[in-house]
Structure 1
Amino acid sequence: MMFDVLKRIEELREERNLSVYKLAQLSEIPQSTIATWYQKGHIPPVDKIERICNTFGISLAEFFCFNTENILTDEQAALLNKWSLLSSKEREAIFYIIDTFLTKSL
C-alpha cells in the first residue's frame, strides 16, 4: 500500500478543524500551491511537508507514521493537538516557560 501524502494532510487538517485557507496562512504556503497539489495529484516537496508538519506541531516521522498510538501516550497526543492550535508567538512563549522550568530545576 502506498502512503497518500495528500490524504494525510487532509486528515490532519480536518482533525484540527483547519480550512485549506487557514493551513495556507499558518504554513505560509500559498493557497494556490496547496490547491494545485490536490487538483493535479502532485506530491508536495519535502520542505513543504515539513512546513505543514511544523504548522501541525508534529515531526516528519509522526506525519509518515501509520499508527501514532505506538509512538505517543494519550497525554502527549493531547498536548500535540493543542500545540498545533497555537500561533508561532504562543509556541515561543511556551518554549520560554519550559526553558525557565528546566533551568530552575538544574
Structure 2
Amino acid sequence: MDVQQHIRELMEERGWSEYKLAKMANLPQSTISNLFKRNNVPTLYTLEAICKAFGMTLAQFFSEGKEPMELTEEQRALFAKWATLSEEQKRVLFELIDIM
C-alpha cells in the first residue's frame, strides 16, 4: 500500500487541504507537507493522529476496504433499537428519514 497516496485519497474524499489535515490531526503543517513533498513515510504517531482526524483506526486505514468498518457506540445503539421495531415502524422511520 502506498501510504501517502491513501492519505491523499482520503483528503480528496473530504475536500481537505494539507493545512486542514494538519489542523484536524493536531500536527504541524510542516509534518504534512514533508509527508508529500519529501515522500517521507509517516511515523506511527503521525499516522495515528492522521487516522484519528479521519475518524478511523489504523486497522481500518490499512484494511483497503476488505473488512467492515467498526461501529461507534452510537451506531450500535441505533442498530439495537432498530432491531426492536416492527416492520411498520421501520417503514415509517425510513419515510421520515427520506423527507429530512
Return the TM-score normalized by structure 2: 0.65
- How far apart in 2 are the matches of 1:31 and 1:69? 31
Unaligned runs of 5+ in 2: 78-100
- How far apart in 1 are the matches of 2:66 and 2:42? 25
1:77-100 Cα deviation digits (max 9, x unpaired) = xxx8xxxxxxxxxxxxxx7xx4xx
Write out aligned runs for 1:1-106 (5 A).
Answer: 3-66=1-64, 68=65, 70-72=67-69, 98=74
1:54-83 Cα deviation digits (max 9, x unpaired) = 0000010111112x254249xx6xxx8xxx
4+ long deviations beyond 2 Å: none
- How far apart in 1 are the matches of 2:11 and 2:33? 14
- How far apart in 2 are the matches of 1:69 and 1:17? 24
Unaligned runs of 5+ in 1: 81-94, 102-106
- How far apart in 2 are the matches of 1:40 and 1:20? 14
How many equivalent pairs are there? Answer: 76
Of all paired residues, the percent bearing the same amino acid is: 37
Task: Check conservation: 2:60, 2:69, Cα contact below 8 A.
Answer: no
Return the TM-score normalized by structure 1: 0.62
